[in-house]
Structures are given as structure tokens and as C-alpha cells.
Amino acid sequence: MELRDKERARVNQPQRCSRDRVTIFILSALVLVGVMAWGPNPAFGTNDESDTLFNAAVAAREQARYREAEQLLLSIARKLAGGGNDSRLAAVLNQLGLVFQEEGQYDQAKLYYEQALAIWERRQGREVENVEVASILHNLAEVYQEEGDVAKAERLYLQSIEVAKQKLGWGHPDVAIGYNNLASLYRKQRRFVEAEALFRLALAIVRAPQENETVDPAPLLNNLAALYKEKGFYALAEPLYEETLALRRSRFRDRHPAVAISLNNIANLYHAQGLLELAAQYYREALAVSEATLGPEASLTGRILANRAWLLHERGLVDEAKLDYERALAVQQKTLGRDHPLLAVTLDRYASLLRDIGQPLEAGLIAGRAAAIRAH
């Protein structure tokens, strides 16, 4: 499984710009911050205590200190609830959605995004168009893409991009983030020509001189690399993946899930080329970073474990592979749910391992469960 770059984009604050075939999950990454991350939220500009707490929560989230961010945001929400400042409460709910989305808890994230959107619709009607709403729409699109509802995700991406272009201008970095994430969706649908064009357009915008914007191109580079890898253009993908990793290590060292995603994706690239020793090395590093930053039961950790289990199986290390598959399945069932398509992929691979080690009965049961998920 390749990890699609979640530093995809949502709107919100500073970090903007903030999933495969060949059957390696592509987790694109990390979230980009708000629907995109459009600069400081105008609802929080009064320099009061809530403003200070909000900025601290955003900083904690960007550094993957999710429990701290959640507690700060819930504290602000309790203070704002019933106070009449709906725009500030909507901004807090959007941030809470990002916290849970980046942890892979998509149902909870969607709940917060929908609450935030409902606040704006109550205030200004269902046709409300502003940057904050574009951010929420974009973040909801991310969740629907993760859940496999590509039609709804595409509609929401297009809607958020149109609002962003109208309010910010077509050359704004947040518009580039929208193009990047829509391109990731098209790549998942194997609409490669459209995807590549949008990725390149997004990179052109991000690399153009910006007056007051500092945009991280790493997610865009990661996703373009994933496209080239999927098409078998490994020589084009490798330098883009390496540049992405270098940018993220420069920014985060080894203290952020985005670094684990980059390491996983490079491992996938080497795995696809049959460079199994190199792939194993990068999977080890990716797993260590993910466990250190998110924990052993995080969604990202589960995906990396599933990738490494497949590699270990191919190398004939069946005992180690079995342990990784079992760990991965436990994590994925908890974080993705029992009917997720990625769970079916891991179940199929585990069934193949069980057949290879002489357990055909167990293998048949596991494969049957995978088939039931796909038929669901």
C-alpha cells in the first residue's frame, strides 16, 4: 500500500499544500491544513485568550501533537458554544475535523466538518461562498475520498476550488492545493492525463513568486511521483520522492507522520522495482517514525505494517510476515472499519501467505471475508 500524501490540502492556516495499484497503498499523506490552508483564520484575530489557544492548537496539530490539539480546541468550543460567535466556533470545529482526519478517524472528522458547514449555512444560506466554507468543503472531500465515495469527493473538490478562485484568485496557493487533491482523486480513478496536468499546474502555482505566502511543495512532489510510479516511470518518480523526503526531514526531522509517509513511499518504489533489501530498510524507518509520532495502533502504522508484511512474504520470511499481517489487520479493522477496501487487500495477501505455509482452511476463510468486503 502506498501512502497517498495526506499533506494534501484542506483549508486553514499556515502549513498548506499542506493514496495504488501495483497494489501498494498510496497514502498521500498528511493533510494540508484547512481546506487548504488559507492563512490565519479571520475569525480569530482579536488577540484574546481564545485567539491564543486557537493558534496553540493549530501549532500542536501541525506538529502531530494531536491529543494536545484536541483538548485545546474542545476547551475553546466549550467557551464559544451558545455565545453567538458562530464563525469562530465553525473554525474550531473545522480544526477538530483536521485533528481526527490526520489520525485516520474519518467518521469523527466528518461529523465536525458537517457541524461547521451547518453553522455557515444557518448564517448565510446553503449557497454561502467564502474562504472558510471552501475549506470545510475541501476537507469533507478528503474524507469522502478516503471512504471511497469518489463522486461526492469530486463534486466537493470542484465546488471548493471554484469558491477559492473567485475569492482568492486563480493563482493563489490554496487553489493549487485544491488542484493537487483533485488530481490525486483522478489518479486513483486512473484518469492519468487529467491528473498529471493538474499536478503540474499546482506545482507551477506553488513555485511562482508569492508576496506573503510560503508554500510547502512536498505534498505536490509526492503525489506527482506517485503518478509516475503507478505508470511505471520509476526513474521520474525516484528523484521526486527523494526531494519530498529531504524537504520533510529538513522541516520536521523524524518527528512527523509526513516523514513516515515519504519513507513508506520510497520503500514502495523500491519494492516495485524488486530492490527488496532497500525497500526493507525504508519500511523499517517508516514504521519507526510512525510508531514514534502516532503510536502502534494508528492508521498509518497499520498501512506500513501491511506493506512490510507483503515484502517479508516475498522474501520468504513467512513467520515475520505473518506477525506483521496480523498486527496490520488488527489496526486496520479498528481504524478503517471492517468493510474498507484496503482491509480486503490486506486480507487477500494474508490468505496467500496462509496457503503458502500449508493452512488452506484458514486461507479460504480469510479470502472469503475479503470477497465479501469487495461485494459489499
- pLDDT tens digits for 309-355? 999 999 999 999 999 999 999 999 999 889 999 999 999 999 999 99
Smallest CA-to-CA distance from 327 within 341, 311, 308, 355 is with 308
Q: What average pLDDT score do residues 163-180 get?
A: 90
Quote the mean pLDDT of the chain: 85
Do 268 and 281 form a contact (C-beta atoms < 8 A)?
Answer: no
The whole-model pTM stands at 0.73
Residues 6+ apart with CB under 8 A from 148: 340, 341
Q: How many CA atoms lie within 13 A of 160 on its CB side?
A: 36
Q: Which domains does the chain have, with CATH numbers?
A: 10-216 (1.25.40.10)
Which of the two residues, 40 and 3, has the higher pLDDT score?
3
- pLDDT-based confidence at 187, cuts 50/70/90? very high
At residue 22, the pLDDT reads: 28
3-state secondary structure of 5: strand
- Say if residue 360 is exposed, middle or buried (CB neighbours under 10 Å; 0-12, 13-18, 19+): exposed
At residue 127, the pLDDT reads: 57
Smallest CA-to-CA distance from 264 within 297, 308, 227 is with 308
45, pLDDT greater than 70: no
45-59, 218-232, 297-311, 314-328: lowest mean pLDDT where? Answer: 45-59
Q: What average pLDDT score do residues 19-31 get?
A: 32
Residue 89 has which C-alpha cell?
466556533
- pLDDT-based confidence at 7, cuts 50/70/90? very low
At residue 130, the pLDDT reads: 81
Q: What average pLDDT score do residues 221-242 get?
A: 96
At residue 29, the pLDDT reads: 34
At residue 123, the pLDDT reads: 78
Do 345 and 303 form a contact (C-beta atoms < 8 A)?
Answer: no
How many Cβ atoms from other residues are within 10 Å of residue 171's Cβ?
12
36, pLDDT greater than 50: no
Q: In sequence order, what are the beta bridge partners of 4? A: 28
Do 112 and 96 form a contact (C-beta atoms < 8 A)?
Answer: yes
Do 249 and 54 form a contact (C-beta atoms < 8 A)?
Answer: no
Q: What average pLDDT score do residues 227-244 get?
A: 96
Which of the two residues, 28 and 347, has the higher pLDDT score?
347
CA distance 205 to 213: 11
Do 328 and 309 form a contact (C-beta atoms < 8 A)?
Answer: yes
Stretch (H or E) spanning 202 = helix 192-207
The pLDDT tens digits of the residues spanning 106-124 come to 999 999 999 999 998 887 6
DSSP 212: S
20-24, 140-144, 247-251: lowest mean pLDDT where? Answer: 20-24
Q: What average pLDDT score do residues 64-82 get?
A: 91
195, pLDDT greater than 70: yes
